[in-house]
Structure 1
Amino acid sequence: MKSSRLVSILLLLQTRGRMTAAQLAEELEVSVRTVYRDVEALSAAGVPLYGDAGHAGGYRLLDGYRTRLTGLTADEAEALFLAGVPGPAAELGLGSVLAAAQLKVRAALPPELRAHADRVGGRFHLDAPGWYAEADETPYLTAVADAVWNSRVLHILYRRWREPTDVERRLEPYGLVLKAGRWYVIAGPGPRTFRVDQILRLAVTDEEFTRPDGFDLAAYWAAYQRDFHDRLRPAEAVVRLAPGVTLDRTTGHRTEQDGWTRATVPIESVDHAHAEFLRLGSGIEVLEPPELRERIARTVAELAERYGNAATHGGH
């Protein structure tokens, strides 16, 4: 801890210039006496650190004493400070680590690049979760992250959407993904995807696992998202649309002589398409699949009979 604190004092003075012992103590959350001892240790190690007495005094480094990161462009320096998202880092228990890392990078930047990085922090703030979604409770996130890092097997009680809802699973956690404010753990065997907020109970074991050679977390997630969207609309319907009627996601448009348009529409299921197409009333005719056409025909016949009876009763 002391060595880390000494580095922090050095970087704070390098970044901010003159600071008093009280300011350093507040920043590092230690006593002023501890700061005095640390300053003495830095001086004994040959660091050109000087103390000025008086009301405007404090500690400072000899001008020109600094380490610099070389080879960074202004755009790269800006990207470094845009990449650190404080919210997710804090959820993983890495908030202070992120702050320390940014401090070290900032201290090592030349003044002109430091100005670019500071401008990013003042003008861009990343907030991943949506407005209308409640924040997920993820009490086991830190434990999952530790297991990912240390390659430890997890035993969990997991809640899924189908029966039986609560199931026990053995996981070999390969990685964590944050998507739209929600954490997912990618785990073997499989691999498979689990929502961290749906873990009801968790036990970290001493059993170690070996991550598959060549496993690419980013590539897996990209493929998982493609499969997810494909599963949303696994089937297709062929329809005719009246003039002026449109549907999203249609393909293979062909305008017929009567002005109607023949098109192919991806559908999630017959049930979902049945409800969706009925809203268009007489503006749509379903040609395929046969089971969807027949179901809509039955619904229309039932409605015609119902409203026909209503008209008859109203006439009396």
Structure 2
Amino acid sequence: MKSSRLLSILLLLQTRGRMTAAQLAAELEVSVRTVYRDVEALHTAGVPLYGDAGHAGGYRLLAGYRTRLTGLSAAEAEALFLTGLPGPAAALGLGTALAGARLKLRAALPPELRAQADRIGDRFHLDAPGWYAPDDDVPFLPAVADAVWRGRALAVRYRRWKEPTEVDRRLEPYGLVLKAGRWYVVAAPGPRTYRVDQILELEVLEDGFEVPDDFGLAAHWQAYQRDFHARLHRDEVLVRLSPRGVTRLTGAAARAVAGTGTPEPDGWTRARVPVESPDDAHDRFLALGADAEVLEPPELRARLARTARTLAQRYGSGDGDTDRDTDGDGG
């Protein structure tokens, strides 16, 4: 544990420059006294690390000193190679850069970790898009990514679902998010979220912008998802589910049953399940067939009953036809 922490101190000073003992302690989640002891251990080991006193003081490495990544554990090396996602990197125009970075990292590893890291590509593969979703055509993704890096505003023509379906927008792109194989750009004003594949035209503007200091992309995306699901599932259905029906649920419905479902004496489960709309609820519970019984609202129950009667009439009109002998000569 201590050796890992010593390496972390070296890498922090190597990448960030001068840092105080308090800053190092906060980064490593240890006490300032522990940092003092670790710095003394690095001194003893011959690492050219110096401390400056005063208000602007702190620890720093001798200019030009670099450490090789020989202190990586097997798990750390494997994790680093798992983070290299060739598909998204290539989409951003960084495929060559990623390949080069992986080669440099591999060369810096000791032989035993190099062989172990090489196995990662043979054992794990990420395929982000869903089975039934075609790959999105995102011709403007590299331009959007470049605008994000350089802090340049964009003039775009964007296609949305409501009228007017095509609108012109000036965007200040704060960051990109890859979700389930689909790229989104979070941009001001707002900020709001836009699908990159729905950008029809794009011009990179000369005027720049600054991302607010209090903006965090990961925190914003988490809040956006919570709000999205809250707006998406505004209705609720009271339903009884067979054991098989419970296992067939997914997403918010499955979480609702797991969290609030009440077992009944016959082995079924009664629960309130969030739904997007009456049409969504009708199609979802109709697909469960005899493994679900909707109790409320009464309008949905009546609608499902009408659909069931229609299906019974449709499939019951040919009674007896399926009993015919089709394997022989009909005699």
TM class, shorter-length: 0.5 to 0.7
1:184 alignment partner in structure 2: 184
| Counterpart-to-counterpart distance in 1, 2:131 and 2:119 | 26
CA shift in 2, pair 1:126/1:244, >3 Å? closer
- In 1, Cα distance between the equivalents of 2:83 and 2:290? 52
SS in 2 for 1:266: strand
| 2:280 alignment partner, one of 272, 277, 290 | 272
Question: Per-residue deviation at 1:296?
Answer: 5.7
Q: Structure 2 CA distance, aligned partners of 1:116 and 1:282?
A: 51
Distance in 2, Cα, partners of 1:275 & 1:77: 47
After superposition, what is the alpha-carbon deviation per residue over 1:208-255, rounded to whole angstroms, capped at 9, x for unaligned? 1111213221222233333333333222122456x7884544444263
Question: Structure 1 residue 75: deviation in Å?
Answer: 1.5
Q: Quick one: structure 1 residues 252 and 75, their matched pair in 2 at CA, closer, same or farther if it must change by over 3 Å?
A: closer
Given the superposition, is the C-alpha separation of residues 74 and 187 from structure 1 closer, same or farther in structure 2, using an over 3 Å criterion?
same
Deviation digits for residues 158-202 of structure 1 (CA, Å, limit 9, x no counterpart): 111222211111211111111222211111122211111110000
| Distance apart, 1:291 and its partner CA | 4.8
- For the aligned residues, what is the CA RMSD? 3.4
| CA spacing shift, 1:150–1:288, aligned 2, 3 Å | same
What is aligned with 1:255? Answer: 264
Equivalent residue, structure 2, for 1:198: 198
Aligned length in residues: 239
CA distance in 2, matches of 1:192, 1:166: 17
Note if contact 1:68-1:110 (Cα within 8 Å) is conserved in structure 2: no
Identity %: 66
Supply the AA of the counterpart residue of 1:81.
F
Task: Give the structure 1 partner of residue 29 of structure 2.
Answer: none
Distance 1:231 1:106 in 2: 46
Q: Which position in structure 2 is the counterpart of 1:212? A: 212
Q: Distance in 2 between matches of 1:121 and 1:300?
A: 50
**Residue deviations 1:107-165 (CA, integer Å, cap 9, x gap):** 22222222222222333333323344322111111110011011111111111122221
Cα separation, partners in 2 of 1:265 and 1:214, compared to 1, 3 Å: same
Alpha-carbon distance between aligned partners in 2 of 1:83 and 1:69, rounded to the nearest angstrom: 17
Change (3 A) 1:302 1:216: same
Indicate if the aligned counterparts of 2:157 and 2:201 stay in contact, CA closer than 8 A.
Answer: yes
Q: Mind listing any 5+ residue stretches in structure 2 that lack a counterpart? A: 1-65, 318-331
Q: Show the counterpart of 1:77.
A: 77
SS in 1 for 2:147: helix
1:95-134 aligned at under 5 Å gives the runs 95-134=95-134
Q: Is the 8 A contact 2:245 2:288 kept in 1?
A: no
Alpha-carbon shift at residue 89 of structure 1 (Å)? 1.1
> Matched residues in 2 for 1:198 and 1:292: separation?
35
Aligned to 1:76, what secondary structure does the other structure show? helix
Mark the CA change 1:176 to 1:261 in structure 2 (over 3 Å): closer, same or farther: closer
Describe the shift of the 1:284–1:145 C-alpha distance in structure 2 as closer, same or farther (beyond 3 A).
closer
Letter in 1 for 2:277: S
**TM-aligned CA distance change 1:107 to 1:167, over 3 Å:** same
Equivalent position amino acid for 2:137 in 1: E
Please state whether the residue corresponding to 1:215 is helix, strand or coil. Answer: coil
The reply on whether 1:154 has 2:171 as its aligned counterpart is no
- Contact 2:70 2:108 (8 Å CA) reproduced: no
What residue identity is the alignment partner of 2:230?
Answer: D
Change (3 A) 1:205 1:110: same
Any idea what SS the aligned residue of 1:203 has?
A: strand
Question: Which one-letter code corresponds to 1:221 in the other structure?
Answer: W
Task: Provide the TM-score with structure 2 as the length reference.
Answer: 0.61
1:128–1:272: structure 2 CA closer, same or farther, 3 Å change rule? Answer: closer
TM-score, normalised with respect to structure 1: 0.64
Q: How far did residue 281 of structure 1 move?
A: 7.6
Structure 1 partner of 2:51:
none
Find the aligned partners of 2:189 and 2:100 in 1 and give their Cα distance.
36
